[in-house]
Structure 1
Amino acid sequence: MKARAIKLGSSLALMLMASGSFLASATTNGYKMVLIEDTPGVAALQAGQFDQGISETLASNSAEVDNFSRQMSLCVGFTKSGKLDQATTACDSAVSAAQQFSHVSNSDKREMRAYALTNRGVLRLLQNNNLAALADFKRAAELNRSDVSQHNLQRLELALNNANSGLDVAMVSAE
C-alpha cells in the first residue's frame, strides 16, 4: 500500500484534465475536471467513452487502483454521462477519500481534496447549484492554487458577475 501511496503522490503532479465540453452544454463548457493518470478507465473517459470508462473503473480491484482514484474517475465519468445521482455519490466519496489517505503528506491530501472539490463543483453546476459550485471552487483554490482550481473559480465568478450585472440592468429598466 505504501508503494501505491507514493505512486499516487507523484501522480498528483501529472493530473490529466478533461475539459467540460462533454455535454455540448453552455452551462459546463470550459470548466475542467481532473482524472488521476494511469488508473483503469481513464483512457476511455478521456476518449469520451464514458460507459466504457465507468465499466473499466468499476471492474478494477483495490490492487489496481486506490479508492480516491476510483472515485475521481467515477465522479468524472458519471458527471460527463449525465448520471448525476451516481456522480454525486462518487464526487462526495472522492472528497472524503482524499482525507483518509494515511501514507501521504498533509500537502498531498490538500491537493487531492482540492481536485475532488473542483470535480464536485463542476457536477454542482450541472445540477444548477451555482452557490454550492462556487463554495467548492473557492475551497479548492484555498487548499491548492492549481491552474484547474483557479480556472474554474475565475470562470464561475465571471459568469456570476455578468449575471448580476444583467439583473441590475433589468431592475433599473423596470423602474
Structure 2
Amino acid sequence: KSTIEDIKGFISAIVDIYRASYGKRTERHPRQCVFVGTTNNYEFLKDQTGNRRFFPITTDKNKATKSPFDDLTPDVVQQMFAEAKVYFDEDPTDKALLLDKEASEMALKVQEAHSEKDALVGEIEEFLERPIPSDYWYRTLEEKRVSAHDVIDQDYIKLYGDGKLIELP
C-alpha cells in the first residue's frame, strides 16, 4: 500500500529540491517533465481510491503503422524533439494543466478499464507469481507446505471452514 502512496506523492510533486552538480546549496526546481512507464499487465491500476494521476494508453502491436527499428531514424527522432521544444517554448499560460470535462470523462473510462477488478485477485496472483526457491524440490513435504495463515492477511480476508474466502468490511 505504501508503494502506491510513494509513487503518487512523487508524481504529484510540482517542485524538486536538490543541489545541482558543483552547486553550493539546494535549490527549488519546478517540475518540467513527463513520466512514462510500460507494463504487460492490462489491469495494472490497483489504487481503490482513484488513479487520476495515471493516463493509460493502450497499444496493439497488430495496429502499429511504424516500426521503431526501421522507421525511427535519427532524422525522425530530431524532428520529434524539435516539435516538443517548440511546444514547450510556446506561451505556458496557453497550456492547461488539467483535463477539460470531455477529456476527463474519456480518461476515467480508460482508467476504469485498466483498474484491477478485485484486489483479492491481485493478492492471489502476486502470491502465485512469487519465485520458487531453488532448493524447493529438495525440501520435505512439511517444509513445502503453506498454510492459509502464511498466505492470508488476517485484516483483509477471512478463511471460513468451508474454504471460502470473504472480504472483511
Shorter-chain TM-score bucket reads under 0.3
Structure with max Cα Rg: 2
Structure number having the greater helix percentage: 1
TM-score normalised by L of structure 2: 0.27
